[in-house]
Structure formats: structure tokens, C-alpha cells
Amino acid sequence: MRPAAPRSADLRNYAIVTGAYWAGTLTDGALRVLVLFTFYDLGFSPFQVAMLFVFYEAFGIITNLVGGFLAARFGLKATLVGGLAIQLAALSMLALVPASWLVVPYVMATQALSGIAKDLTKMSSKSAVKLVVPTDAPDMLFRWVALLTGSKNALKGVGFFLGGILLTVIGFRSALLVLAALVATALVVVLAMMRGSLGPGSARAKFSQMFSNTRAINVLAAARLVLFASRDVWFVVGLPVFLRTQEGWSFWQVGAFLGGWVIFYGIVQASAPALLRRRGRGEPTGLTATWLAFILAALTAAIAVALWSDVDPSVVLVVGLLLFGVIFALNSAVHSFLILHYAEGDKVAMNVGFYYMANATGRLLGTVLSGLLYEWRGLTTCLVASVILLLAAGLLSCLLPREVVATRYRPLPGAA
């Protein structure tokens, strides 16, 4: 018996949500590069630069926790519109104030708003996949979530590149105004064209249900936390500052490289179903996440050893980061499928919100450690910390189910 096809109305709304998510992702990536290089160039230390993003990640934790509940209560359209509006406010707060306002506490506050905006739009879009894909089609779910996540990361890479180019060509404030115009356009399109709420809210939704998760969801969230900490512990501050100060790369070169890497990472992530299927595998399981994490740990250790040797650091980092991107993208895609597969249909937004709360916690941990460890002992120390975190991700993944089990849940009203 063939799985049911998604309804055209659901597909239309989902396309609008995805487009808005892409716009938010593009501006989010560009804003990070603008803030990173502008304030480092103003004399901020690597640790101080990392501190600028602490609220971005910390409020992402809170947003995913509260946002999942709000989406379950009021519908995904409300959280999507809120995310875009908050991102517009964050960009305006940086672009339209005197230079004397751009001190650490103020910039941290704008980054807090940006983190809230990013996670509201991400949670809305990822949850929408579960509402559109038929419940008896795990292969379709894997392909769709991989495509969404991969395209998002590719666009974030474009955002890194765009941020570097805009900073070089038109400067900090003008670049912010361009990004604000893009977000405002996405907000108008959502308000004008979306019909319904994309998953009606339920007055029965309770905040306490955010923590009423299955063992598989809790273990997966813990594995996600350390997985993303392992990436950001060297990618967020250590790598770009090393390339800029130790290797002499320009702003646009660093932005282009990081952007190109994230685009490549996104393409691999979108291709994950096909790549894993070529290895004779169907839908991924906890075992898939386990061996990918351990391979990634071995690869990261090899990068650290190469940096300790006499090999050209630029060659080591370019080649090593490309290989790291392939395995990390596959692992992340597997995680993204598993959370939607494990999620219960009547509380999917809360399950996804809880999972991305763990994701944001890992990013916060990685961001703080990236600035702290780089300032203390350099990039190789950041890589050693990454290896330790990846080993933890592999061990946690050993506790996940080893087979794809049909999820027991009640479908959301109106989600055929």
C-alpha cells in the first residue's frame, strides 16, 4: 500500500515557511560575519568576541524550550512571524544607533534577539515537515528533512560570504540595512500569502509536556548537544581568527572560505539519503549516528596531529575541514531525521523544541570554549576538546535504538 501524498494546501504553506526560513538563515549567517570581524577589528580579544555571541546561544536555549510550547499552543505561523519580526528588530538596533552605543552589553542584547529569531524560524520550519509528510513514509521524511536542513546550511554559507563581501564593499551599517530589507520582505510575504496556522494550536498543550519525552529523544538530544559543541569549539572563533591573524587571510577570504565550506556542508547534508543508500543502508538508525561520530572523532584527531607537525596549516585546515564537513553533515542529517521520526505527532513542536534546545546548549558551550581555549592555548587545543566531545557523542549514540520503529502517535488535527 503506497503512502498518502501530502495535500496541496499543506505544501503551499510549507513552501512559504521554507522560503521565510531561507531568508532568515541568509541574514543570520551574514550578521555573524559582520559582528565577528567588525568587533575583532576594533580591538576585541578572541574571548571578548566569543562573549558577544553568548546571549545568541543562551537565548536560543530558552527560545527552543518556550517556542516549542508556544507553537503547540498557538500554531507554527505565530512562531514564524514572531521570529522574522524579532530578527528585523535586531538588525535595526545595530544599524540605526550612534556608534557610541555599540558597546559589549548592547551588542550582546542584539545578538540575544537574533538568537531568539533564528531558533523560532528554525523550529517552525523543521516542525512543519512532520505535519506535511505522511506518517507511513519514513523514507520521504528522511529525504525532505535532509533537503530542508541541507539547503538551510548552504544558504547560511552564502550568508557568510555575503557578510564578508558587504563588509568590504559598503561597510557595517549599510550591510545591516540590506539584510533588514530582506527580512522585512519575507515577513510581508508570510503575512500576505500564508493561509491558516500550519498546524492549529491546542489549548490542551502544557509547558510541562516539554520534558515528557521518550528515552530515545532524551538520548538523541544529549548526543546533539555534544556533537554541535564539538564543531563550534573550533569553528566559531578559533578557526576564523587563526586564519586572519596567523595565516594572514583577508576578511573576504575568510568569509568566502567559511561560506564555501557551509555551502558544501549543506549540499552533502541534502544528499545524505542518497549517499547513505549507496552504502546499502535504508533509513538511518542509532547505529548510523554512532559510527559517524567515531569516524569524525578520528578525523578531528588527525587534523590536530597534522597542525602539530610541519605541514602547512592552511593546507591542513582546508583539506581537513572539507573532510570534516562531509562526515559532520551526514551525522547531522541522521540526527535531524531521527528526532522527527521519534517525535510524537500531537506534540511534535515540543519534541523538536526540546531537541533544538539541546542543540543551542551545545552551540553555547562550543562558542564559549572556542574563545577561551583559543586565547589560552591556540587552535590545536580547540581541536583536542572537539575530539573529546565527539567521543562523547559516539558513546551516547550507542544508547539509541538500532532499528527504525514505527512511531506511535496521534496525528495533528488537519495534518493528513
Instruction: Give the pLDDT confidence of 13-55 residue by residue, as tens digits.
Output: 778 888 888 888 899 889 988 888 888 777 777 777 878 888 8
Cβ-contact 25, 152 below 8 angstroms: yes
Give Cα separations from 43 to 40, 59, 167, 374 (angstroms). Answer: 5, 26, 17, 16
Which residues make Cβ contacts (< 8 Å) with residue 173, sequence separation at least 6? 94, 95
Residue 161 in domain: yes
Residues in the chain: 416
Residue 412 in domain: no
The amino acid at residue 319 is V
- Distance CA(174)–CA(172), nearest Å, equals 6
Residue 402 in domain: no
**pLDDT for the residue numbered 412:** 31
**pLDDT for the residue numbered 410:** 34
| Residues of the chain falling short of pLDDT 70 | 1-10, 130-138, 196-213, 278-282, 344-347, 349, 404-416
Nearest to 129 by CA among 115, 114, 150: 150
**pLDDT for the residue numbered 213:** 66
**pLDDT for the residue numbered 414:** 29
> What range defines the domain where residue 356 resides?
8-195+209-397
**pLDDT for the residue numbered 362:** 92
pTM above 0.75, yes or no: no
Total number of domains constituting the chain:
1
Residue 228 in domain: yes
Residue 26 in domain: yes
Residue 403 in domain: no
pLDDT tens for residues 108-156? 889 889 988 988 887 777 777 766 666 666 677 777 777 777 787 788 8
**pLDDT for the residue numbered 392:** 97
Residue 354 in domain: yes
Residue 110 in domain: yes
**pLDDT for the residue numbered 413:** 29
CATH of the domain at 299: 1.20.1250.20
